[in-house]
Structure 1
Amino acid sequence: MSIYNYLVEKPNGEILSMETYRNKIMLIMNTASQCQFTYQYEDMQKLYEKYQQKGLEILSFPCDQFGNQNPEDGETTKTQCKLQYGVSYPIFDKVEVNGVKAHSLFNYLKHEVDCPEFEKHSMQQKLLFNHIQENYPDYLIGRNIRWNFTKFLVDSTGKVIKRFEPDTSMLDIEKAIEELL
């Protein structure tokens, strides 16, 4: 199976094939409108503006699985992101990323690359780990997505190259993108 075999849904209900992004570098992420990492919408927009003309696509999938931090529907989320953060990259309809209702695209992404060890060097990392361990311990098992703003980097041939956790430095993400461009 290839990433190009998957279908995704826009907030307006339109179905889009991932084939649309063939020959593009993709950064695919699950997001939330009311999360401690929501500021990353702005960071992602800056990356998009800098690299879109060189072949980068950023694809955002709102998800309400982590602390109910995206209670709005996909259309409302898309509108909020445009107004609050100037987001112009595609925002799709809400999905689940773990469990039996997980979107097939995210099941694919999760199983294509290893899940990095959960680092606990900073206070933010420790607090996030403790919160997940206390409230969502299953998300720490295997290749599950642990929290909002987990990102997957896909090269222009459709190969999933790397997984970035929510607290990964934007500089590290940008460096990995530049290596593919």
Structure 2
Amino acid sequence: MSNIYQFDANSLSGQPVPLSQFQGKVLLVVNTASECGFTPQYAGLQKLYEEYRERGLEVLGFPCNQFGKQEPGDAQQIGQFCESRFSVSFPMFAKIDVNGEQAHPLYRWLTTEKRGVLGTQGIKWNFTKFLVRRDGTVYERYAPTTKPEELRKDIETLLSDPAA
């Protein structure tokens, strides 16, 4: 696979979503969890989405229960939590694995395209973030400790320069 638009993922409601529907947008892809110390980052992700959506940013949330079992809920519980606690309006997808044999193909591709600190491939924890250019290639990977607001400069770069 050469870009993110070649993948599909199921929405939180279970409907298949071709990621090609986001073609031409800057994407921020995040593995999320509802019971994590980083869960308050939902607020920052929503703020980025509200601020930059009109300019072409989409935030894509992928719940994952692989780290400390911090996403135990089903799709309905995850959706209710995100909406009631953080007013999340960006697309949320069905719960997936991001590491191991059952890892979603999207995450296998993302982690191959952009390795983490010290060249590690696997996702280390919830709220690891990938910023994707308008052409569907991975621009950068960010650690869970990187707050959403710290991504503004890179987001601005990708939104302002179509060739970035």
Q: Secondary structure at the match of 2:59?
A: strand
- The number of residue pairs the alignment matches comes to 158
TM-score normalised by L of structure 1: 0.84
Q: Cα deviation per residue 1:27-62 (whole Å; 9 max; x = unaligned)?
A: 001000000000000010000000000000000000
Quick check: 2-11 or 85-94, which moved more?
Answer: 2-11
Match of 1:4 in 2: 5
Q: How does 1:118-133 map to 2 (within 5 A)?
A: none
2-side partners of 1:76 and 1:114: how far apart?
32
Q: What is the aligned-residue RMSD (CA, Å)?
A: 1.2
Q: How does 1:113-152 map to 2 (within 5 A)?
A: 113-117=114-118, 142-152=120-130
Q: Runs of 4 or more off by more than 4 Å in structure 1?
A: none
Check the 8 A contact 1:11/1:74 in 2, yes or no.
yes
2-side partners of 1:114 and 1:32: how far apart?
21
Please point out which of 136, 144, 160 is paired with 1:166.
Answer: 144
Shift in Å, 1:168: 1.1
Match of 1:125 in 2: none
Q: Cα deviation per residue 1:126-146 (whole Å; 9 max; x = unaligned)?
A: xxxxxxxxxxxxxxx830000
Match of 1:69 in 2: 70
Rg larger for: 1
1:107 aligned onto 2:108: yes
Q: Secondary structure at the match of 1:143?
A: coil
Check the 8 A contact 1:62/1:74 in 2, yes or no.
no
Percent identity over the alignment? 42
Q: Give unmatched runs, 5+ long, in structure 2.
A: 160-164
Shift in Å, 1:74: 2.2
Check the 8 A contact 2:48/2:149 in 1, yes or no.
no
Quick check: 75-84 or 157-166, which moved more?
Answer: 75-84
TM-score normalised by L of structure 2: 0.93
